[in-house]
């Protein structure tokens, strides 16, 4: 997912960047900097942020990888 797609997804769900940041343990400044391209998400907090936003895939075996992806919450029918 691209950074622009992340912004669109939040907008589609009526959620502000600040709300998403608070709910996911990041500061709004970190999220805005990442979405603006000022930080790359290569290591540390910004790397975790990129994964949480869905811009980067989590590394295999990453202990901070969520057990469920957002898609897994969809009902199968």
Look at residue 18 and tell me if it is in a domain: yes
> Model's pTM, two decimal places?
0.73
**How many Å apart are CA 48 and CA 26, to the nearest integer?**
10
Parent domain of 34: 3-59
CB of 54 closer than 8 Å to CB of 61: no
Look at residue 28 and tell me if it is in a domain: yes
Taking only the tens place, the pLDDT of each residue in 38-76 is 999 999 999 999 999 999 998 887 665 554 444 444 444
Q: What is the pLDDT of residue 60?
A: 81
Look at residue 67 and tell me if it is in a domain: no
Q: What is the pLDDT of residue 2?
A: 92
In the chain, the number of structural domains is: 1
More confident residue, 77 or 5: 5
Look at residue 65 and tell me if it is in a domain: no
Look at residue 27 and tell me if it is in a domain: yes
Look at residue 76 and tell me if it is in a domain: no
Tokens of 30: 């970190």
- Kindly compute the dihedral angle of the four CA atoms of residues 8, 55, 72, 28, in this order, to the nearest 10 degrees: -60
């Amino acid at each position: 997912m691209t950074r622009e797609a992340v912004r669109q997804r939040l907008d589609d769900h009526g959620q502000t960047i600040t709300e998403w940041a608070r709910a996911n343990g990041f500061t709004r400044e970190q999220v805005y900097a990442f979405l603006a391209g000022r930080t790359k998400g290569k290591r540390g907090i910004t790397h975790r942020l990129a994964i949480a936003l869905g811009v980067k895939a989590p590394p295999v075996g990453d202990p901070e990888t969520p057990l469920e992806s957002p898609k897994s919450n969809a009902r199968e029918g």
